[in-house]
Amino acid sequence: MTGAARDEDGDTPAPSWRQRPRPVGFEIAYRLDGDTLEVDRTRRVDSIRLSAVEQVRFLYAPGNISSKGYKTALRLSDGRTVTFGNLSWRSLTDLDRDDRRYHRFVSALSAAIARANPRARFVAGRPRPIWLAVAVVGALSLAMLAAVTLRALQQGATTTALIGILLIAASFWQVWPLVHLNRPRELATGAVPDELVPGRAG
């Protein structure tokens, strides 16, 4: 998913990342060129000054067929947002991951943004209102399932109770990472959280 783009002197590979964010559509290439991020959308190429990046946000963003999805979102001073992730679609049913190269690119990009704009905010997780809504809805859903399961046990409906227990386990497995990983928090300028940017070399 990454190319081997070279910098101007032709010696050192320029940090880059390639992703096909949707099952149908073009691949998007991201290349770091000094204090500029080039975004090649096949039909057009945008050059983004890193000094214009006001906020870098790291997210846990599972998809329909993968629970290992993560995203990095750049908010620019003109209101635009540039978002890319670690998953790339190969086909309608197949995804590609290269977490190590994703981590290397995000780390290089974050360091470059910190140099170009030391006032840029680095944050992890969802905005607090969205995170609270997800947490409340998830907790209520689990509480309802628990109440139904308990009622089934009291009435001797063992099969229904077992189904309820399985549903609680499956729901918790899905909800907990959304709440835990996406809790809103401030990061140091240039910091890259390993739990939201997988692939750091050990």
Q: Which two tokens stand for residue 119?
A: 């006032």
Q: Please check whether residues 112 and 143 belong to one and the same domain.
A: no
Q: How many CB atoms lie within 10 A of CB 199?
A: 18
What pLDDT score does 85 carry?
A: 94
Same-domain pairing of 100 and 137 = no
Same domain, 67 and 150: no
Domain identity same for 44 and 114 = yes
In a domain, 196, yes or no: no
Q: Within this chain, do residues 115 and 137 fall inside the same structural domain, yes or no? A: no
Same domain, 66 and 137: no
φ, ψ for residue 186 (rounded to 5)? Answer: -85, 145
CATH number, position 26: 2.30.29.30
Angle between helices 158-181 and 128-154 (to 10 degrees): 170
- Model confidence pLDDT, tens digit, residues 18-71: 999 888 888 999 999 999 999 999 889 999 999 999 999 999 998 766 778 999
* Pair (78, 28) in one structural domain: yes
Domain range holding 24? 16-125
Q: In terms of domains, do 113 and 28 share one?
A: yes
Q: What is the pLDDT of residue 4?
A: 45
For residue 148, is it within any domain? yes
118 and 28 fall within a common domain? yes
Rounded CA gap, 107 and 177, in Å? 23
- What Rg do the C-alpha atoms of the chain give, in angstroms? 21
Q: Is 9 helix (H, G, I), strand (E, B) or coil?
A: coil
The arithmetic mean of pLDDT across residues 7-21, rounded, is 76
Q: How many domains does the chain have?
A: 2
Distance, CA of 171 to CA of 168 (rounded, Å): 5
Q: pLDDT for 147-186, tens place per residue? A: 999 999 899 888 998 998 999 998 888 899 999 999 999 9
The H-assigned helical ranges of 54-127 are: 99-116
Same domain as 97, residue 170: no
DSSP assignments along 115-177, one per residue: HH-TT-EEEESS-HHHHHHHHHHHHHHHHHHHHHHHHHHHTT-HHHHHHHHHHHHHHHHHHHH
**pLDDT surpasses 50 at 2:** no
Residues 141 and 84 in one domain: no
Residue 1 placed within a domain = no
Contact between 198 and 101 (Cβ < 8 Å): no
Q: What is the pLDDT of residues 67-89, one digit of tens each?
A: 789 999 999 999 999 999 999 98
Residue 198 lies in a domain: no
